[in-house]
Amino acid sequence: MKKPLSPKAVADLVPDGARVMIGGFMGVGTPNKIIDALVVAGKKDLTLIANDTALPGRGIGKLVSAGALRRAVVSHIGLNPETQRQMNAGILEVELVPQGTLIECIRAGGVGLGAVVTPTGLGTVLEEGKQVLEIDGKKFLVEKPIRADFAFIAARQADYLGNLEYSLTAQNFNPTMAMAADTVVAEPEHIVPVGAIPPDAVRTPASLVDHLIERST
């Protein structure tokens, strides 16, 4: 059984400068209590790995506005003008990665692959400084796997062992990120008794989850 932690206790685990993966797609399927706790704790110099930086005042956008990020590895910043401002001002380093490449590199980090090869980005700025392989007469970029110190993920419900069930498309990057970090913290909407989640509904097994966030009282 996993004893649920408070968001503050989780934030206390995170040192400044840590690499953090955060699930979500424009704030949907995002662990908001953990994000709020990181902001309140005044965390700094974090490297963010996520699909996007959401919007100002929403989800990951709160970390951007708080100045908590030093670097962001994401596929989209178009709806967050504060991310764009910090990037243009040289405050925040942004690495834009095609969405499919990003999630596949995270998956590779989770399952122990040495690289991802993809034609996406050939002949563009994404190719600069990267190895190019030719396989059967076709060229591919070599992308490195991605891992993080922490993965903060959101789920519809968890049992007390840490098995997770997600809600439709709110699962987005969450199950994959749960495989690719040294410490995985899940923020479920509900915590239910062991056995309440049907086995075929479990998308992230308890063996991957280190901590659960406590339910709101």
The pLDDT tens digits for 152-165 are: 999 999 999 999 99
CA distance 58 to 56: 6
State which amino acid sits at residue 11. A
**Domain residue limits at 26:** 17-96+147-212
Read off the pLDDT of each residue in 117-143 and give the average, rounded to a whole number.
Answer: 96
Contacts of 164 (CB under 8 A, 6+ apart): 153, 155, 157, 158, 175, 178, 186, 188, 202, 203, 204, 209
DSSP 59-109: TTHHHHHTT-EEEEEESB-TT-HHHHHHHHTTSSEEEE--HHHHHHHHHHH
What local confidence, expressed as pLDDT, does residue 3 receive? 83
Read off the pLDDT of each residue in 184-195 and give the average, rounded to a whole number.
Answer: 96
With a cut of 90, say whether residue 119 has pLDDT above it.
Answer: yes
The pLDDT tens digits for 45-93 are: 999 999 999 999 999 999 999 999 999 999 999 999 999 999 999 999 9
Q: Using 50, 70 and 90 to split pLDDT, how confident is the model at 215?
A: confident
Is residue 182 one of the residues assigned to a domain? yes
CA distance 45 to 91: 10
Is residue 54 one of the residues assigned to a domain? yes
CA distance 145 to 215: 33
Q: Is the dihedral of CA 209, 12, 92, 61 positive or negative?
A: positive
Number of domains observed in the structure of the chain: 1
What local confidence, expressed as pLDDT, does residue 154 receive? 97
214 C-beta neighbours (distance < 10 Å), count: 17
Is residue 136 one of the residues assigned to a domain? no
| CATH number of the domain where residue 88 is located | 3.40.1080.10
Contacts of 105 (CB under 8 A, 6+ apart): 97, 116, 143, 144, 145, 146
What local confidence, expressed as pLDDT, does residue 216 receive? 61
The pLDDT tens digits for 21-46 are: 999 999 999 999 999 999 999 999 99
Residues 153, 174 contacting (CB under 8 angstroms): yes
Task: Kindly report the average pLDDT of the chain as a whole number.
Answer: 96
